[in-house]
Structure 1
């Protein structure tokens, strides 16, 4: 048990170095971690293999979006699941005036978990229960950024986000080692400006950012 506690402490310290924006909200993320471990026993929120790396694999991985795009304070997170990256953003932005993170999740049990985390941490999150194609369109004029992680291939993410992108909402997607092939397969991205950023938490991962016009 002592070894496990030490590993978790080291994981948290590494995460704070990778994503310093977590630092002011350590208590909130401790609450988040505790709730995640509790709910994980009854519903599958994250891969079991990542439970001892929650801070780096999930919290820091999500928070890096805020650090790379600090000017965006109103996001919609597609298929939020356990809340990554959306709930982490909602905690990091909880003291920012006017910030709001919309989390779309179709699973009622996961939505209940997200509500519990939001309530206990004071996150600036609003949970929308339903399918993306139904819940996303009404949010098009209320957000500046759309994000997702481990949800679907890039062409599908772009298809879901197309109306928002046409309004020059920025799309920021966390992708794993298959990111390059997904870009190759995505002719839908041809009419958009695209930027790829090295992930701070995964050596083979990238942050894929898309917009009609990054300068707007």
Structure 2
């Protein structure tokens, strides 16, 4: 695992301790992944923000236990420009996310509700959108397409079926899509999706889907 600054390392240790504590009563992550949390969850999440290194204002869809969105917020905890919005529908997981955010000082804003209900009212400025193993690419682009068309970057972690999703999606007409190999799983991929330069006019990404 790559070098982590001391302040971030300490925050991630707090995160790990809280996750292990809450995992006893809430199924936050697959039990078999707990012993590999630093690679399977933390390093896997860090490579998402690596894919959009200039972004400090993020929207994370279907955050679950906070991967990758809460790790992104922890990474930029000392940056006054950072704000990471996490959308999660499970009330107990929202409570967990708020607890970790509070204990680590991460600039995370938790939106507890379904993505379809939150996004139409969401109007915070966003530079990048993330999701990990949430839904097929066409569904993710239904959620995030307007933000990407307005200038945000989509960074989506996908499993071994990702290439087939891309081939079948017909998305290349609207978006530029770059595929990155995952550093933590040989079968996984990260899709970096931006608005095609010849598709519409550039605008600052500030609102969600109408």
Give distance in 1, aligned partners of 2:171 and 2:53. 26
State which of 70, 75, 90 in structure 1 corresponds to 2:53.
Answer: 70
Q: 1:110 to 1:189 in 2, by over 3 A?
A: farther
Structure 1 length-normalised TM: 0.87
Select the structure that is richer in helix: 1
State which of 27, 34, 42 in structure 2 corresponds to 1:51.
Answer: 34
> CA RMSD for the aligned pairs?
1.7
Give distance in 2, aligned partners of 1:24 and 1:181. 40
CA contact (8 A) 2:52 2:153 kept: no
Shift of 1:213: 4.0
State which of 65, 85, 93 in structure 1 corresponds to 2:76.
Answer: 93
Deviations along 1:121-164, one digit per CA (max 9) or x if unpaired, are 11010000111122123435511111100111111111111221
Aligned pairs, how many?
A: 199
- Give the equivalent residue in structure 2 for 1:184: 167
Are 1:38 and 2:38 counterparts? Answer: no
Are 1:162 and 2:153 counterparts? Answer: no
Q: 1:191 to 1:63 in 2, by over 3 A?
A: same
- Give the equivalent residue in structure 2 for 1:105: 88
- Give the equivalent residue in structure 1 for 2:190: 207
Give distance in 2, aligned partners of 1:173 and 1:86. 11
Give distance in 1, aligned partners of 2:4 and 2:171. 33
Identify unmatched segments of 5+ residues in structure 1.
1-14
Q: 1:148 to 1:214 in 2, by over 3 A?
A: farther
Shift of 1:68: 2.6
Give distance in 1, aligned partners of 2:184 and 2:5. 14
- Give the equivalent residue in structure 2 for 1:150: 133
Q: 1:104 to 1:76 in 2, by over 3 A?
A: same
Q: 1:63 to 1:23 in 2, by over 3 A?
A: farther
Deviations along 1:17-61, one digit per CA (max 9) or x if unpaired, are 2xx346541111111001111111111111111000000000010
Q: Which structure ranks higher in relative contact order (CA pairs < 8 Å, sequence separation ≥ 6)?
A: 2
Q: How does 1:5-44 map to 2 (within 5 A)?
A: 15=1, 17=2, 20-21=3-4, 23-44=6-27
Identify unmatched segments of 5+ residues in structure 2.
203-210
